C-alpha cells in the first residue's frame, strides 16, 4: 500500500471507521464524493465519439423495421453485451433483432469476413458488434460488399487504422472525450442504449407505438456481471454500474438467468458481491464459450422463464466442471515444463511462452492466468488452432501493458504476428506454428526492455494490521458493503501474526484453520484455498496476508479470514 499522508485521511473524516478511512486513502480516494455509487454519479453518454451516428443508425432500423443482427464475443463480457443489446432493443420495439456469436474454434474472434458470410444468411440490414469490431477492418468491408451497414461498439484498444463502419462507439478510439476509458464492452453497449432511449423518447416513439418506455436500470445486473467478469478497472463510473446492478440482484430483481447461475454456484443472491461475478457466475458463463457455444450462455441470460434458465444454468455448471478438469491437467503439464526451465540453471525468463499440441484452445486463457498468478510473470499460453497455426492467450502483471508489448513486437518483426489485440492485462494473438521460437525470443527481448527484476518479484501490498477489536462481524460486514471491490480497486488485504490452534485439509487442496491472533484470546475461522501443500503444524506461528470476510453457513454469519499468503515464523 502506498504511504498515506495525513491530509488524505483528513479529507475522509466523514467516514467513521479508521481502518476504512485508511483503506480508501490507500486507493487514492480523495473525497467522499468519489464513493457515491448512485446513478446520478454516472457520466453522460454525450461525450462518446460517434454516439449520435450510432443512435441514428438504430433509430432508422427501428423506424423501418429493419433486421438487426448483434454480433458478440464468446466471453462473459460478450455474452452480457449481446443479451443486453438484444433484450433492450426488443423492449424498445425492434421487431426483428437477433444475435450471432462466432464459435471460437471455427471462426475465431470478432467480425471476420467468414462470420459475415454466416451472418448474411440471416439477411441483416444492420450489424451491431458488441465487445468487438474495432479491429475488424476486413469484416466491415465484407459486410459493405453485401450491402450491410455496420455499427461497431467496442472497448478494446484500436490499431492505427479504424474500420470503415457507419458508426464506431469506443471510448478508447482517438479523439474520444468520454471521461472513463475503462468501460467494458457491456458498458459501451449500455451507453449506446441510454442515448437511443433518450432519442426515441424525444421523438415520441414510445407513445406512437404504444410501448412502455423501458427502464434501462433494470438491465444493470447484466452490466455489472460483464464489467466484473472482464476485469476492467473499477473506476468510479464502473463502480456505479456494478453497485447498481448488485443492488438489484440483492433485491430479487435480477434476470432469471443470473439468479439461476448464482444458485447453481451456491451463492446467496440476497448477499451477492462483485467477487461472486468474478469467481462464480463469470466462470460458468465463460465455460460455454471455452468448451462449446456461447449461445447457451446468452440464452440463459435472455430467458424470462425461471425453469428454462435453471436448466441452462445447470448445463453451464456442468461445462464449468469439465473445464476445471481440463484446466487442472493442462496446468500440471505447464508447471512440469516450467520446472524443466529451472533445471537449466539460468532461472526463469522474464516471461513464459507455453505450448502443447494437445492443449484445449478454449482453456489457454485461464491457464495463462493461473500460471501468471503462481510465477508472477507475463504468460502466453498457446494452442493449435488449425493446420500450422497457433492461437495464444496472454495475461500480464502490473507494470506491463501486454497489448502495447505485442504492438512493439509486431513493429520490430512485421511478418511475425498474423493478428493480435487486447488490453493492458490480457491479449490474444495468432501466429504460424513454425514462428513460435522466433516469437518467444522477440517476446523475451521486449520484456527485458520493459521490466526490471523488481517487477517480477510479486509483492503483496496490504492495508496494514487489524486490531483485536476489528475481528467482529459488524466490521467484516462494513468492509463487504464498502465495495464493490475488484480490478483496480482491490478488496482490502491485511497482515498479521497468528498461532495455529488446529487445522484440517478439505476438498483435497484447501486448508481449514482455527487461528488465534497474536496477543488475543479469540479464535478465528480461516480458509486457505489451494495451499494444502504448505500445511503448517498445530501451535505454529504464522505471518499471514488475508482478507476479512463473512462466511454464511446454514443461515448463520461469522467472521472468516481468507488467507492469501502464509509464512511460518
Positive or negative: CA dihedral 130, 132, 134, 137: negative
Has residue 228 been placed in a domain? yes
57 and 198 assigned to the same domain = yes
Q: Which grid cell sits at 11?
A: 479529507
* Torsion sign over Cα 103, 109, 111, 114: negative
Question: Same domain, yes or no, for 62 and 194?
Answer: yes
Q: Which residues contact 232 (CB under 8 A, 6 or more apart)?
A: 155, 182, 183, 184, 187, 238, 423, 487, 488
Cβ 192 vs Cβ 169: under 8 Å: yes
Q: Does any domain span residue 332?
A: no
Query: Residue 5: its pLDDT value, please?
Result: 55
Instruction: Write out the residue range of the structural domain in which residue 23 sits.
Output: 1-31
Q: How far apart are CA 226 and CA 242, in angstroms?
A: 9
Whether residues 16 and 68 share a domain: the answer is no
User: Would 91 be classed as within a structural domain?
Assistant: yes
Provide Rg for the chain, Cα atoms: 24
Please indicate, yes or no, whether residues 419 and 530 belong to a single structural domain of this protein.
no
- For 262, left (φ over 0), alpha (ψ -120 to 50), or beta? alpha
Please answer whether residues 75 and 288 qualify as being in contact, where contact means their C-beta atoms are separated by less than 8 angstroms: no
In this structure, is residue 334 part of a structural domain?
no
CB atoms closer than 10 angstroms to residue 386 = 13
Q: Is 387 helix (H, G, I), strand (E, B) or coil?
A: coil
Q: Helix (H, G, I), strand (E, B), or coil: what is residue 86?
A: helix
Please give the tally of structural domains in the chain. Answer: 4
Residue 532 is predicted with a pLDDT of 86
Peptide bond connecting 484 to the previous residue in cis, omega within 30 degrees of 0: yes
In a domain, 36, yes or no: no
φ, ψ dihedrals at 75, nearest 5°: -120, -175
Contacts of 530 (CB under 8 A, 6+ apart): 509, 510
Q: What is the pTM of this model?
A: 0.91
Q: From the first residue on, what is the mean pLDDT of each consecutive set of 10 residues in the chain (569 residues)?
A: 56 83 92 92 96 98 97 93 98 95 78 94 97 95 98 93 97 96 97 98 96 96 97 95 98 97 96 95 92 92 97 96 94 92 70 95 94 93 92 93 94 92 87 96 95 84 95 96 94 96 91 95 94 89 96 89 94
Give all strands (DSSP E) within 72-158, no chain letters.
97-100, 126-130, 149-153
Order of strands, sheet of 149-153, starting from the edge strand that comes earlier in the sequence: 97-100, 68-71, 126-130, 149-153, 167-169
- Domain stop point among 411, 426, 456: 456
Q: Are 354 and 371 in contact (CB under 8 A)?
A: yes
Same domain, 10 and 102: no
> Does 406 fall in a domain?
yes
Q: Are 197 and 248 in contact (CB under 8 A)?
A: no
Q: Are 135 and 161 in contact (CB under 8 A)?
A: no
Nearest to 329 by CA among 354, 300, 363: 363
Together in a domain, 63 and 178:
yes
Cβ atoms of 32 and 15 within 8 Å: the answer is yes
Same domain, 523 and 430: no
Which pLDDT score, from 0 to 100, does residue 80 have?
98
Residues 294, 265 share a domain: yes
Check: CB of residue 82 under 8 Å from CB of residue 101: yes
Give domain status of residue 529, yes or no.
Answer: yes
For residues 493 and 451, membership in a common domain is answered with: no
Residue 353 to residue 367: CA distance in whole angstroms: 12
C-alpha cell at 17: 471507521
C-alpha cell of residue 519: 496477543
- CATH code (residue 386): 3.10.310.30
One domain, residues 154 and 239: yes
Rounded Cα distance between 387 and 324, Å, is 27
Residues 223 and 248 reside in one and the same domain: yes
Paired sense of beta strands 494-506 and 541-553, if any: antiparallel
Amino acid 425: pLDDT: 86
How many angstroms separate the CA atoms of 75 and 289, rounded?
6
Amino acid at each position: 500500500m502506498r504511504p498515506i499522508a495525513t491530509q488524505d485521511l483528513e479529507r475522509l473524516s466523514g467516514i467513521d471507521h479508521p481502518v476504512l478511512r485508511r483503506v480508501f486513502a490507500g486507493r487514492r480516494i480523495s473525497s467522499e464524493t468519489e464513493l457515491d455509487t448512485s446513478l446520478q454519479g454516472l457520466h453522460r453518454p454525450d461525450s462518446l465519439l460517434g454516439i449520435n451516428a450510432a443512435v441514428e443508425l438504430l433509430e432508422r432500423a427501428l423506424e423501418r423495421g429493419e433486421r438487426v443482427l448483434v454480433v458478440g464475443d464468446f466471453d462473459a463480457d460478450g455474452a452480457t453485451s449481446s443479451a443486453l443489446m438484444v433484450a433492450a432493443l426488443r423492449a424498445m420495439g425492434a421487431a426483428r433483432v437477433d444475435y450471432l456469436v462466432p464459435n471460437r474454434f471455427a471462426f475465431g474472434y470478432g467480425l471476420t469476413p467468414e462470420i459475415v458470410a454466416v451472418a448474411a444468411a440471416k439477411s441483416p440490414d444492420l450489424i451491431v458488434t458488441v465487445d468487438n469490431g474495432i479491429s475488424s477492418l476486413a469484416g466491415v468491408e465484407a459486410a459493405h460488399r453485401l450491402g450491410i451497414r455496420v455499427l461497431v461498439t467496442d472497448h478494446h484498444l484500436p490499431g492505427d487504422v479504424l474500420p470503415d463502419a457507419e458508426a464506431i462507439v469506443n471510448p478508447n478510439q482517438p479523439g474520444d472525450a468520454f471521461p472513463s476509458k475503462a468501460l467494458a464492452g457491456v458498458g459501451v453497449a449500455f451507453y449506446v442504449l441510454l442515448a437511443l432511449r433518450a432519442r426515441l423518447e424525444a421523438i415520441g416513439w414510445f407513445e406512437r407505438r404504444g410501448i412502455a418506455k423501458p427502464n434501462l436500470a433494470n438491465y444493470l445486473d447484466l452490466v455489472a456481471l460483464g464489467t466484473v467478469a472482464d476485469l476492467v478497472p473499477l473506476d468510479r463510473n464502473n463502480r456505479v454500474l456494478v453497485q447498481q446492478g448488485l443492488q438489484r440482484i440483492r433485491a430479487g430483481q435480477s434476470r432469471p438467468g443470473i439468479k439461476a447461475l448464482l444458485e447453481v454456484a451456491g451463492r446467496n443472491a440476497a448477499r451477492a458481491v462483485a467477487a461472486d461475478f468474478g469467481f462464480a457466475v463469470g466462470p460458468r458463463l465463460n465455460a460455454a464459450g471455452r468448451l462449446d457455444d456461447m449461445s447457451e450462455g446468452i440464452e440463459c441470460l435472455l430467458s424470462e422463464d425461471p425453469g428454462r434458465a435453471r436448466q441452462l444454468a445447470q448445463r453451464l455448471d456442468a461445462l464449468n466442471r469439465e473445464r476445471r478438469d481440463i484446466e487442472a491437467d493442462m496446468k500440471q503439464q505447464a508447471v512440469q515444463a516450467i520446472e524443466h526451465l529451472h533445471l537449466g540453471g539460468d532461472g526463469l525468463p522474464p516471461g513464459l511462452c507455453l505450448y502443447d499440441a494437445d492443449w484445449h484452445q478454449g482453456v489457454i486463457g485461464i491457464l495463462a492466468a493461473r500460471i501468471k498468478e503462481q510465477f508472477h510473470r507475463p504468460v502466453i499460453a498457446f494452442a493449435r488452432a488449425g493446420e500450422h497455426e497457433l492461437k495464444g492467450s496472454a495475461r500480464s502483471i502490473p507494470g506491463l501493458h501486454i497489448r502495447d508489448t505485442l504492438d512493439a513486437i509486431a513493429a520490430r518483426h512485421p511478418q511475425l504476428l498474423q493478428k493480435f489485440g487486447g488490453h493492458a492485462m490480457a491479449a490474444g494473438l495468432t501466429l504460424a506454428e513454425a514462428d513460435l521460437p522466433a516469437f518467444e525470443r522477440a517476446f523475451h527481448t521486449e520484456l527485458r526492455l520493459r521490466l526490471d527484476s523488481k517487477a517480477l518479484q510479486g509483492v503483496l501490498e496490504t492495508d496494514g494490521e487489524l486490531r483485536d477489536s476489528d475481528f467482529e462481524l459488524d466490521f467484516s460486514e462494513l468492509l463487504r458493503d464498502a465495495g464493490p471491490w475488484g480490478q483496480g480497486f482491490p478488496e482490502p488485504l491485511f497482515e498479521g501474526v497468528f498461532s495455529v490452534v488446529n487445522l484440517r485439509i478439505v476438498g483435497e487442496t484447501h486448508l481449514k484453520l482455527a487461528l488465534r491472533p497474536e496477543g488475543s484470546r479469540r479464535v478465528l475461522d480461516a480458509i486457505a484455498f489451494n495451499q494444502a501443500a504448505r500445511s503448517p503444524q498445530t501451535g505454529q506461528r504464522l505471518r499471514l496476508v488475508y482478507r476479512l470476510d463473512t462466511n454464511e453457513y446454514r443461515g448463520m454469519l461469522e467472521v472468516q479470514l481468507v488467507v492469501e499468503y502464509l509464512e511460518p515464523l
